[in-house]
Structures are given as structure tokens and as C-alpha cells.
Structure 1
Amino acid sequence: MLWDDVSFVLGSPLAKKILIVINESKEPIAPVQISKLTKIQRTNVSKKLIPLVEKKLVICVNPESRKWRFYEITPKGREVLEKLNRMQ
């Protein structure tokens, strides 16, 4: 349910920052790049990406890769951000 996802992102400032950075990226982006842009430790970025993928707010475009996985936002992730923007 979309409101559960909105609630999750509202309750996690890290998830919100990560989702915004992925949304603003013109191409898929790696955790190390997200870390540099958000000033969040890479391990924390990687840990927070797991529930974002599980909730289908972002997808890993190369899940078979052991190194340098890249992520992009999904239409559902964009919809969550739009709802958050309208709320604020």
C-alpha cells in the first residue's frame, strides 16, 4: 500500500535523502556515489537500500554484480516522493 511506503520514508530521514538523490540522478547510481552526495556512510546507504528495494521504491539494475551495483527509482518511488512533496 502506498501510504505505508510514504510512512516508511517519512519515518526514515536517511531513506528520504537516498530516494531524493536517486530520483535526481539522470542515470543509475551506486551506493558510493549516493554516500558522497548525502554524506551518509556507504554501509548505511547499502543497508537502507535493502528495504527501499523490498518496497519496490528503487530497483537494482544489475543485481548479479558483486561489486558496483547501480540503483534507479521506480514509478512507485516517484509517486511516494510526489506525495511527500505535496504534504510539506
Structure 2
Amino acid sequence: MDEETLNLLSFLKVSPYRRKILISLKDENKTPTQISNDVDDRVFHVSKILREFKDRGLAVCVNEHKRKYRYYQLTEKGRSFLKYIEE
């Protein structure tokens, strides 16, 4: 594994909420509120983690121009980390 992969893996594994959010996005696009309900965490915290995911190329907002009901999905890079998280 290269250094970037190890750093991202550490970033994900250090937080149970990051892992849960990554898994929550596995099968479908979701809003922060839907993810919040899935992982039993506050919407504010979920939104913060989604921003971190976007900054690291793990997720994207598919309708960024919307003010409400923004949907997020995993990128190929984000999907590639699921195998490490679900082990």
C-alpha cells in the first residue's frame, strides 16, 4: 500500500462514525439527514464528515447547486475503501 492509501485508511479507521457513514453510502445516494438517521449521529457532524470525504476524494455531492436535499455518493476511490472497512 502506498502512503496516501495508508493515510486514508487511518483517517477512516480512527472514527467509528466515518466508517458507518462510508458504509451507509455503499448502496445508494443519500442526504445528510438520511445518513444521520442510519448512523445515529447529528446532522451537523455527518455534514462535517461528508466535507472531509469530499476533500479527500471519497464522496461527491451529486446536486451541489441545491441548497436543500443534497445527495451524496461514494466515488470509485471511496468504494475501494469499503473492502478494508467491512473486514
**What range describes the TM-score normalised by the shorter chain of this pair?**
0.7 to 0.9
5+ residue gaps, structure 1, are none
Are residues 1:39 and 2:33 paired? no
AA aligned to 2:12 is V
1:2 partnered with 2:5: yes
CA apart distance, 1:82: 1.1
Structure 2: any 5+ residue segments left out of the alignment?
none
Runs of 4+ aligned residues of structure 1 deviating over 4 Å after TM superposition are none
Q: CA RMSD in A?
A: 1.2
Query: Percent of aligned pairs with the same residue?
Result: 35
Q: One-letter code of the match for 2:26?
A: N
Does 1:12 find its partner at 2:12?
no
Counterpart code for 1:14: Y
Q: Deviations over 1:7-33 (max 9, x none)?
A: 1000111111001000132xx110001
Say how many residue pairs are matched. 84
Deviation at 1:66, TM superposition (A): 1.1
Which one-letter code corresponds to 1:44 in the other structure?
Answer: H
Partner of 1:49: 50
In the TM superposition, what is the alpha-carbon distance from 1:76 to its structure 2 partner? 0.6
